[in-house]
Homo-oligomer: A and B are copies of this chain.
């Protein structure tokens, strides 16, 4: 039997590289579509619509959102400042793993702070991080209030609510900007997919 050391060398030379996985998945270039915007702005809704379009075309994607992250990987985190930073950091690191696996990964979190999003951007190579600013005006989000959270925040029942008593720092140079107050969900999703197609991701 060969020694473990030499066996290691042999096998590690043949490790499957990101490029191999990418080719397998039919994607030209894996990346993270990082949706950011106020609560109720339409992040998850648009991200889901984008996924449906990608899936229909045979591309491999995955959506990270509150449903599959907050109650699992990040269930130990509170909404205190330090934990919010850690929340975004971990999502950034997991999105990097999915990109390494060759997928298009979509994330849908408010991620209100410029510094946290900048940190996630540094985790990825330049063309692997695509910031999607869902720039629906606060007034529209608050009028929709799909989960009744703005009402509770205005009543003081929820503290540090983004847009009410906690800041939302808009992206300075997002790769994509959409606004669900002036375009339908389907139109916003088509805009995102058009960006991917036009920039060599698909």
Chain A residues near B (Cβ < 8 Å): 1-5, 7-8, 11-12, 14-16, 20-21, 24-25, 40, 42, 44-45, 48-49, 51-52, 55, 58, 60, 62, 64, 68-69, 72-73, 76, 86, 90, 93-94, 96-98, 100-101, 103, 123, 144, 146, 180-181, 184-185
Knowing that A16-B55, A72-B96 are A-B contacts, what are 12 other residue pairs whose CB atoms are under 8 Å apart, sorted by A's residue number?
A1-B181, A4-B40, A4-B144, A5-B144, A16-B52, A21-B60, A62-B101, A64-B97, A68-B97, A73-B93, A90-B90, A94-B97
**A15 and B48 contact, CB distance less than 8 A:** yes
A5, B40: Cα distance in complex, Å: 9
A60, B98: Cα distance in complex, Å: 12
Given A4-B180, A48-B15, A55-B16, A101:B100 Cβ within 8 A:
no
Q: Which listed residue (B7, B24, B123) contacts A55, Cβ 8 A?
A: B24
Secondary structure type dominating chain A contacts = helix
Q: Which listed residue (B8, B52, B184) contacts A45, Cβ 8 A?
A: B8
Report B-chain residues with C-beta under 8 Å of the C-beta of A14.
48, 52
Report B-chain residues with C-beta under 8 Å of the C-beta of A68.
97, 100
Write the nearest CB–CB distance from A11 to chain B, whole angstroms: 5
Please indicate which of the listed interface residues A14, A48, A51 has the most CB atoms of chain B within 10 Å of its own CB.
Answer: A48
